C-alpha cells in the first residue's frame, strides 16, 4: 500500500511528519511518499533515525501556511497538499495524509478528487474517545452550511465507517441537538430528524453536547459549524481545567505532592481526550482516501494518522459507501419529496 | 426588593428552593415570594431552619415536569412558572427566579412578559468562568433559529450586562465561529460579522469554541442552538475527565494517595466549571427580570441565583438596555439595508 504524506503540513512541519511517516513505513509495512520541498525532506530523512525506511520523495515546492486564506492557497499549483491529492487521483497512492491547514486540505482534496457518486458533500469525521467507547462525530468542519439531506448522508457514511473500521455492528445514530425529545432543535435538525427516522438506519433520536463522551450513540451527526464549535470547546475545557489544576496546586504543599503522584495519570487522561493524539479525522465521501491530522501532531501522532489511513484503505470504506448509498435513496430525497 | 421564586422547579423541588430562598432573604435583605403548592411549601419552610425569614407564599397548584412538552405546559394556567412571571408583570415582584424546565420558563416568561421595546428575541445569557476572567455567552438556548440582527441585539445586551453587572468597561465582543479570520463560519455568522463590524460596539471578530474559557472576549454571541451545544459539551467533558480520573487512580496506590491529597482542590475546580453552581442564566431583553437556575441546583445554588436576580435589578440592567438599543439602529437594520 502506498500512502502519500504532506511533509510540509502541521505546526512542526517536516521535523514531525518525516520521522513519523518513516516510522510508520517500518511499523506497518507501507510505502511512504513524502511530498514537499525535496531538499528539506532529504535533510529530515537523514536526521530521522530511519533513513532506510521504504519511501520516495515527490517535490512540491510551494508551501501553504497554517492560517492562509482560500484566495491565496487555491492559486498554488505546486503545493504539497494539491500534489499529494493528485497522487491519489492518479492512482499513484492509495491514501493521502496531511497535518496541514484543515480548510486548505478540505478544499483542495475536494477540488482534485471530487465526491463519491451519491454524496453531495464529503464530511470531516472524528473519532472522539469517550469514557467507555468511542463515538464518531461528523461533520467537524468541512461544511459550515448544511441541508437536511447532507446530514442523512453523513449518517450513512458514519454508519459504514463504524461498521468497517470501528467494528460496531449496526451503529446507533444520534442527531446533535439541544434536547432529546423530537421537535427540539433548529429547523435543520427538525427536518433531518424526520428523514433519519424514515430511513433504515438505527436512528436513536436527538442527543446533546454531553453525549459526545457518554457513549449514548456510536455516530453523532451535525452540521460542520456546530460540530467544529463542539470539538473546539472540548479542547478549551481540557486546557482550562489543567491550567486551573496547575494553579490550584501551587497553593498547598500537600496538593503539590498529590499532583506529582497523579501527574503521570493526568497526562494519560489528557492524551485520551486530546484529539491531536489520536490520529486525525477522515474525509468521508471524498472520491479518494484523505486523513487530516491535527496541526499540533508530533511524530507519534503522524504515525497514528498513517495507521488510520491504512485501516481505512484495508477496510474498503470507500467501496462500501459507494455500494450502500443507493439503499437510502428515500431518506436522501426527503420524506416530503 | 421583592423576588418571586418558583418553589416547585428543579430536580430537588421545594427541598432545595425553599431553604435556598429563605437563606437568601436573610443574607441579602430581600423579600421572598415562594410560588407553588402552598401545603408543600409550608412544610419545607418549617424544615428549612429559617422559618422566620421574610417571605410570603403564593399558591400555584399546577406543576410542570422537567421534561414536559410545550403542548402540555402552555395550557396550565396555574403553574408556578406562569404565576411567578405574572407577579413580575403586575409589579408585585421585581424579579422571578426559577430552576424549572428551561424551555418552559423561556416560553412562559416570553408569553407573560414580552420583550423590551427594540428587542425581537430575548436571549439566555450565561456567565462562563474562565481561568482568569469570566465570559458572557449568549444565546445558550432560548432561540434555536436566529437571524443576523438577532445576534447584533444579543451583542448589545451582552455589552450592557457586562458593563452594569460584570463591571467591565467597554466589553470586547466576540462572534462564535470556526476560524478567526473574517469570512469563516456559516452564512448567519458571516452576515452578523459585517453588521457587528459596522456597529459602534467593540467587536473583536470571530472567536472559537476554545475561547469560551480563554478570556479572549468578554461577551461571545452565538445562535441559541450552537450556544446550547457548546454549553452541554462543557458539561460532558468535565464529567468524563473526572470519571476517567476516578477510574485511573484505582489502578495504583500512589495515584490513589495523590488523588486523595488533590481531591479537595479538584472539587474546587469542578465547582468553578460546573455551571449548576454559579447561579444560573439571565434572560436578557425580556420586559421583566427572570433568572433561570440549573435544574441540579442545591440550596446554595438557589441562593446564588437569587443573588444574581438582586444584582440584575440593583444595576438597572433593564433600563439600560431600553435606553441603549436605539443607539445601534444602523447595525440592527443591517449594513446592506
Q: Which three cell numbers stand for residue A136?
A: 464518531
Are B11 and B295 contacting, i.e. CB atoms less than 8 angstroms apart? yes
Pairing between β-strand A134-138 and β-strand A219-221 as defined by DSSP bridges: parallel
Q: What is the pLDDT of residue B336?
A: 44
Are A207 and A220 contacting, i.e. CB atoms less than 8 angstroms apart? yes
- Eight-class DSSP state of A209: G
**pLDDT tier for residue A278 given thresholds of 50, 70 and 90:** low
For B38-47, the pLDDT digits (tens) are 999 999 999 9
Cα dihedral B232, B233, B235, B237, rounded to 10, equals 170
Tell me whether residue A29 is exposed, middle or buried, using C-beta atoms within 10 angstroms of its C-beta: 0 to 12, 13 to 18, 19 or more.
exposed
Cβ neighbours for A185, distance < 8 A, ≥ 6 positions apart: A175, A177, A178, A179, A193, A206, B144, B225
Q: What is the pLDDT of residue B90?
A: 97
Q: Where are the beta strands (DSSP E) in A50-185?
A: 55-59, 95-98, 123-129, 134-138, 173-176
Percent of chain A with pLDDT over 90: 65
Residue recorded with cell 442527543: A207
- Chain A residues touching B181 at Cβ < 8 A: 67, 69
What is the number of CB-based contacts under 8 A between chain A and chain B?
Answer: 206
Residue recorded with cell 514531525: A16
Structure-model confidence comparison of residues B118 and B88, the more confident one: B88
Q: Average pLDDT of B122-130?
A: 90
Percent of chain B with pLDDT over 70: 95
Q: What is the pLDDT of residue A276?
A: 59
For B222-266, the pLDDT digits (tens) are 999 999 999 999 888 877 777 777 777 777 777 777 777 777 777
Alpha-carbon distance of A301 to A287, in angstroms, equals 25
pTM here?
0.90
Q: Which three cell numbers stand for residue A269?
A: 487522561
Inter-chain touch A233–B233, beta carbons under 8 Å: yes
Structure-model confidence comparison of residues A255 and B110, the more confident one: B110
Alpha-carbon distance of B98 to B312, in angstroms, equals 15
Q: Closest residue of B to A255, CA-based?
A: B262
Please tell me whether residue A274 adopts helix, strand or coil conformation: coil
Are A279 and A307 contacting, i.e. CB atoms less than 8 angstroms apart? yes
- Chain B residues touching A223 at Cβ < 8 A: 186
Tell me whether residue B336 is exposed, middle or buried, using C-beta atoms within 10 angstroms of its C-beta: 0 to 12, 13 to 18, 19 or more.
exposed
Alpha-carbon distance of B113 to B105, in angstroms, equals 11
Q: What is the pLDDT of residue B137?
A: 96
Q: Residue A145: which of B186, B230, B262 has the nearest Cβ?
A: B186
Inter-chain touch A266–B260, beta carbons under 8 Å: no
Q: What is the pLDDT of residue A237?
A: 82
Cβ neighbours for B336, distance < 8 A, ≥ 6 positions apart: none
Q: Which three cell numbers stand for residue A32?
A: 511512504
Angle at B35 between CA B55 and CA B231, to 5 degrees: 110
Cβ neighbours for A94, distance < 8 A, ≥ 6 positions apart: A1, A2, A3, A88, A289, A309, A313
Nearest to A317 by CA among A293, A275, A282: A282
Q: What is the pLDDT of residue A336?
A: 44
For A140-184, the pLDDT digits (tens) are 999 999 999 999 999 999 999 999 998 999 999 999 999 888 889
Percent of chain A with pLDDT over 70: 95
Q: What is the pLDDT of residue B274?
A: 65
| Backbone angles phi and psi of B225, in degrees to 5 | -70, -55
Alpha-carbon distance of A258 to A260, in angstroms, equals 5
Q: Average pLDDT of A39-49?
A: 93
Percent of chain B with pLDDT over 90: 65
Q: Which three cell numbers stand for residue B94?
A: 421585581
Phi-psi region of B10 (alpha: psi -120 to 50; beta: other; left: phi over 0): left
Pairing between β-strand B95-98 and β-strand B289-292 as defined by DSSP bridges: parallel
Q: What is the pLDDT of residue B335?
A: 47
Residue recorded with cell 506497518: A28
Nearest to B53 by CA among B23, B28, B84: B23
For A100-120, the pLDDT digits (tens) are 988 899 999 999 999 998 899
Q: What is the pLDDT of residue A335?
A: 47
The gap from C-alpha B148 to its chain's centroid, in whole angstroms, comes to 22
For B75-117, the pLDDT digits (tens) are 888 899 999 999 999 999 999 999 998 889 999 999 999 999 8
Q: Average pLDDT of B157-162?
A: 95
Q: What is the mean pLDDT of chain A?
A: 89
Q: Average pLDDT of A205-234?
A: 94
Inter-chain touch A261–B245, beta carbons under 8 Å: no
Cα dihedral A166, A167, A170, A175, rounded to 10, equals -10
Q: Closest residue of A to B146, CA-based?
A: A186
Q: What is the mean pLDDT of chain B?
A: 89
Inter-chain touch A211–B236, beta carbons under 8 Å: yes
Q: Which helix (H) or strand (E) covers residue B88, if one does?
A: helix B80-89
Alpha-carbon distance of A201 to A7, in angstroms, equals 39
**pLDDT tier for residue A308 given thresholds of 50, 70 and 90:** very high
Sheet with B134-138, side-by-side order of all strands: B55-59, B31-36, B2-6, B95-98, B289-292, B281-284, B123-129, B134-138, B219-221, B173-176, B203-207
- Find which of A101, A148, A212, A213 to mutate to test the B interface (most B CBs within 10 Å of its CB): A213
Q: What is the pLDDT of residue B325?
A: 85
Are A169 and A321 contacting, i.e. CB atoms less than 8 angstroms apart? no
Alpha-carbon distance of B221 to B219, in angstroms, equals 7
Q: What is the pLDDT of residue B70?
A: 77
Q: What is the pLDDT of residue A249?
A: 73
What is the least distance, in Å, from the CA of A150 to any CA of chain B?
15
- Chain A residues touching B266 at Cβ < 8 A: 245
Nearest to B29 by CA among B329, B321, B330, B310: B310
ipTM of the assembly? 0.89
Are A176 and A143 contacting, i.e. CB atoms less than 8 angstroms apart? no
What is the least distance, in Å, from the CA of A54 to any CA of chain B?
37
Q: What is the pLDDT of residue B337?
A: 39
For B172-211, the pLDDT digits (tens) are 999 999 988 888 999 999 999 999 999 999 999 999 999 9
| pLDDT for A317 beyond 70 | yes
Alpha carbon distance, N-terminus to C-terminus of chain A: 43
Amino acid at each position: 500500500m502506498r500512502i502519500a504524506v504532506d511533509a510540509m503540513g502541521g505546526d512542526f512541519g517536516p521535523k514531525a511528519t518525516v520521522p513519523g511517516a518513516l516510522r510508520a513505513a517500518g511499523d506497518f509495512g507501507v510505502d511512504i511518499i513524502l511530498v514537499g520541498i525535496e531538499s528539506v525532506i532529504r535533510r529530515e530523512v537523514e536526521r530521522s533515525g530511519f533513513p532506510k525506511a521504504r519511501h520516495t520523495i515527490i517535490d512540491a515546492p510551494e508551501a501553504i501556511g497554517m492560517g492562509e486564506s482560500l484566495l491565496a492557497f487555491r492559486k498554488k499549483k505546486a503545493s504539497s497538499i494539491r500534489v499529494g491529492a493528485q497522487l491519489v487521483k492518479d492512482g499513484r497512492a492509495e491514501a493521502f495524509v496531511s497535518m496541514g491547514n484543515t480548510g486548505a486540505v478540505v478544499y483542495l482534496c475536494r477540488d482534485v478528487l471530487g465526491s463519491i457518486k451519491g454524496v453531495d458533500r464529503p464530511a470531516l469525521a472524528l473519532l472522539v474517545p469517550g469514557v467507555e467507547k468511542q463515538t464518531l462525530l461528523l461533520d467537524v468542519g468541512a461544511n459550515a452550511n448544511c441541508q437536511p439531506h447532507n446530514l442523512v448522508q453523513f449518517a450513512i457514511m458514519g454508519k459504514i465507517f463504524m461498521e468497517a473500521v470501528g467494528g460496531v455492528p449496526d451503529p446507533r445514530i444520534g442527531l446533535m441537538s439541544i434536547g432529546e425529545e423530537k421537535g427540539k432543535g433548529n429547523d435543520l435538525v427538525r427536518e433531518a430528524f424526520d428523514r433519519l427516522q424514515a430511513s433504515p438506519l438505527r436512528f436513536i433520536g436527538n442527543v446533546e453536547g454531553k453525549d459526545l463522551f457518554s457513549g449514548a450513540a456510536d455516530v453523532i451527526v451535525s452540521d460542520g459549524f456546530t460540530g467544529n464549535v463542539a470539538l473546539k470547546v472540548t479542547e478549551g475545557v481540557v486546557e482550562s481545567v489543567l491550567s486551573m489544576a496547575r494553579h490550584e496546586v501551587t497553593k498547598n504543599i500537600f496538593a503539590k505532592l498529590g499532583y506529582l503522584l497523579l501527574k503521570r495519570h493526568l497526562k494519560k487522561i489528557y492524551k485520551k481526550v486530546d484529539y491531536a493524539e489520536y490520529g486525525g479525522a477522515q474525509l468521508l465521501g471524498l472520491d479518494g482516501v484523505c486523513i487530516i491530522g491535527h496541526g499540533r501532531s508530533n511524530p507519534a501522532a503522524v504515525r497514528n494518522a498513517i495507521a488510520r489511513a491504512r485501516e481505512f484503505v484495508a477496510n474498503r470504506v470507500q467501496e462500501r459507501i459507494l455500494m450502500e448509498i443507493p439503499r437510502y435513496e428515500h431518506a436522501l430525497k426527503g420524506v416530503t419529496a
